[in-house]
Structure 1
Amino acid sequence: MKNLLFSFSFLWLCATANSQEFIPYYAEVADQVSDANILTHLTQFENLGVKRRGTAALQNTLDWLKTKYTGYGYTASQMQEYSFTNGAYTCKNLVVTKVGTLYPNTYVILCGHYDTITGKGTNDNGSGVVTILEVARLLQSIPTEYSIKFINFSGEEDGLVGSQHFVSSVVNGTSPKMNIRLVFNIDEVGGRADMTNDTITCERDTGSPTSNNALSNTFTNELINCVQLYSPLNTYLSYAYASDYMPFEDNNEIITGFFEKNETPYRHTANDLLVNMDPEYVYNIAKAAMGAMLHFAVASTSALSSESYQNSRQVSFYPSPAKEVLHINMGTLTDTRYSFSMLDLQGKVVLTRDVENPSMIETVSLSGLSKGMYLAVLQTTTERITKKILIE
């Protein structure tokens, strides 16, 4: 949702596109974006109806989203719902977390809202929703150095209520405060059926506080380069406003975003429908977003690494080297019970723990263990995963 006209814009003359290296594997992944998925999901989103607060349609859309993420291989422990009060109603944000391999406590956030007002909102913001879904589908099996949170906000059309609640209660409510590398927001990217849609607006922070503006500009320049490297779209540089990245911006986080260049005249009306959009444009934007997220989260650059990542069920242990505690990322394991043990170099079991109904991240105390190399063993009813762990 954006209710203001651009008061100024800048044509981005990109003389630095070669400052980011083209990565063939990233292009291969971006080319796996499915135009059939985009069209199907836009149709399904539209058929869910007007997704206003307090309606069955809003809840049905949340359930639809959860079904999609589950179908892509994300587990129940990776999905969290955050409830908040929106007027006289309770609404929910859906957050899907994928843990990074090198910086598990630092997050790249890809977000957009799924609520609508007046109409079915196939453009505002079904287009953003289906783009996020397609990126999440392809990233599920690819290791990334940084953790990723895919966030579907509600309450955007009521004044960014959902994103504001997430920032205040989750980002700032985490101890220590959640460490965010970048917030990448996608809102209204459906284009117009009556126009040629070959340009995407890339949005940077130009507001207050100003301390985050320089890095926002840097990341938005990188976003522009990714669009040019991994999609056929042109880019247009403008400024961020009136969408779910703003509570993050106010919180001094680094933001960037996508918004359609040819703005629909049907926003917030009953005619915000697929027939008035350009699905091919959404497909190209999903390719651009895919390339950008691979870059921002620092994804593996080969299919071989992704295969090894999948073979270990995305389970990881961190930090490494470890000191007082060891965190276990359960990856895509769905077992409700597992055992964890640590073995020394002589093969002696020096620590054991049984866990039922594990969370996405479990923490094990290493108190009493001497410095040195150990073998960590995670055992479920069907899987045995081992990793070497150095304790300092």
Structure 2
Amino acid sequence: MKKIAVFLFTSLALQNIGAQNLIQAYKTRADMVSQANITSILTDFENLGVKTTGSTANTNTLNWLKNKYLSYGYSASQIEEDPFSIGNINSKNLIITKTGTVYPDKYVIICGHYDTIYGPGVSDNGSGTSILLEAARILQNIPTEYSIKFIHFSGEEQGLKGSYHYADNVAYQGSLKKLDIKLVFNIDQVGGQLGNNNNTIICEKDISGMSGNNAASATITQELATCTGLYSPLQTSISNAYSSDYIPFENKGYTITGFYEYIRSENEHSTDDTFANIDPVYVFNVGKAAVGALQHFAVASTTNNVLGTQETVGQKLSESVNIYPNPAKNQVTVEFPQKTKPFNIEISDMTGNIVLRTENQNIIDTTPLSNGIYMVSVKTDRNHLTKKMIISK
């Protein structure tokens, strides 16, 4: 949570940038943000108590988050813990990685902290936490060209300790850059005060620190503002980034942007930061903006099919076939809505070489396949469907 009370606002952001236009598939997914889910997550977050870094409630919240991702279909191998210490206090960041189809080693980070002080922190930062969870749920099976890391930081309230640990020891190791990060998109305190006219969100850009990355941040932040106008009913204001979990990344030269509430609720760091005092509809609308922007930043598939489909014109096999899990490890299931035979399945690598072939077999052993991107071709007597699949062991 930001500890400086002064904001510098500019005029409302322009709502179009050159070729950045509404993509219907992105809007369809942004509209999948659920008010019921947002409300449920926020109330659960409140019930977890005061999540002071290193406390039992803090650990319980970490485990609650992990279980959420597992329930959305993320595998245990996609979920990492990043432990750190503040003196004799121990806590963990939580990182969930969704592998990109074209640039698997270049990352879009969307992040927010889950620790609180003095109160349950429903706005600061249960609001950001709920939006990360909804974005992860909606995009779980949507191919994106860039990899996405959903990161929940702890230790933010003690001085960005968790995000500094991650930036200094994971993104970088000493002077060696380990992670190629396209941008860091931070969401902190977007709960709003119930009763306020919460129709505007701040889009935050970098203005200090390493000045060499300021121009890139300004561009990305303008794109964030444009996406907000395209995929949510919110207006936008451009302001300055400071004192939240993107700062350690900015210090390393990465490009940053973020969301923060426009009308300050003033409930942060108090026992009044509860569900009863926030505006859940505002969180819902910010969530729609975030899902739209995240798809833009990570270059999500523009087809409405969950796994990204190429098929013969006029054929609708993609609407009925489910191939899961994706990413997969040692086994893939091809599921039809009703008994379908005969059918053939071929798996080929990205050079076009067929590496596996089966007939009338719904469960496929992928143990022999190495990590990477493959194409799964499903053929029936009337239809032919091809979908991308990732093997990640």
Task: Give TM class, smaller chain.
Answer: 0.7 to 0.9
2:51 touches 2:116 (CA, 8 Å); kept in 1? yes
State the SS of the aligned residue for 2:110: strand
Q: Deviations over 1:175-221 (max 9, x none)?
A: 76210001000000000112110000000000021000001000000
Per the alignment, residue 343 of structure 2 pairs with none
1:189 touches 1:282 (CA, 8 Å); kept in 2? yes
Per the alignment, residue 314 of structure 2 pairs with none
Q: How far did 1:45 drift? A: 0.0
1:378 touches 1:384 (CA, 8 Å); kept in 2? no
Per the alignment, residue 156 of structure 2 pairs with 156
Per the alignment, residue 117 of structure 1 pairs with 117
State the SS of the aligned residue for 2:355: strand
Q: How far did 1:289 drift? A: 0.1
State the SS of the aligned residue for 1:283: helix
Residues 1:378 and 1:286: Cα distance change in structure 2 (over 3 Å)? farther
State the SS of the aligned residue for 1:38: helix
2:20 aligned with 1:20: yes
CA RMSD, aligned part only?
A: 2.5
Per the alignment, residue 126 of structure 1 pairs with 126
- Counterpart residue identity of residue 355, structure 2: A
Per the alignment, residue 268 of structure 1 pairs with 269
Per the alignment, residue 381 of structure 2 pairs with none
Per the alignment, residue 375 of structure 1 pairs with 354
Q: Deviations over 1:209-249 (max 9, x none)?
A: 10000010000000000000000000011000000000000
State the SS of the aligned residue for 2:141: coil
2:76 aligned with 1:76: yes
State the SS of the aligned residue for 1:304: coil
Q: How far did 1:89 drift? A: 1.2
- Counterpart residue identity of residue 212, structure 2: S
Q: How far did 1:381 drift? A: 11
- 1:21-100 aligned within 5 A: 21-100=21-100
State the SS of the aligned residue for 1:74: coil
Q: How far did 1:311 drift? A: 4.7
State the SS of the aligned residue for 1:64: helix
Q: TM-score, normalised by structure 2?
A: 0.81
Q: How far did 1:24 drift? A: 0.7
Q: How far did 1:82 drift? A: 0.7
Q: Please, which runs of 5 or more residues in structure 2 have no aligned partner?
A: 310-317, 332-350, 376-393
Q: TM-score, normalised by structure 1?
A: 0.81
Q: Please, which runs of 5 or more residues in structure 1 have no aligned partner?
A: 316-330, 336-371
> CA separation in 2, counterparts of 1:227 and 1:170?
30
> CA separation in 1, counterparts of 2:352 and 2:149?
32
> CA separation in 2, counterparts of 1:378 and 1:44?
46
1:82 touches 1:94 (CA, 8 Å); kept in 2? yes
Aligned residues: 339
Q: Deviations over 1:296-315 (max 9, x none)?
A: 00000012362549955465
Per the alignment, residue 342 of structure 1 pairs with none
Q: Deviations over 1:321-352 (max 9, x none)?
A: xxxxxxxxxx14476xxxxxxxxxxxxxxxxx
Q: How far did 1:374 drift? A: 3.9
Residues 1:293 and 1:53: Cα distance change in structure 2 (over 3 Å)? same
2:260 aligned with 1:279: no
State the SS of the aligned residue for 1:105: strand
State the SS of the aligned residue for 2:289: helix
State the SS of the aligned residue for 1:10: coil
> CA separation in 2, counterparts of 1:218 and 1:97?
25
Per the alignment, residue 212 of structure 1 pairs with 213
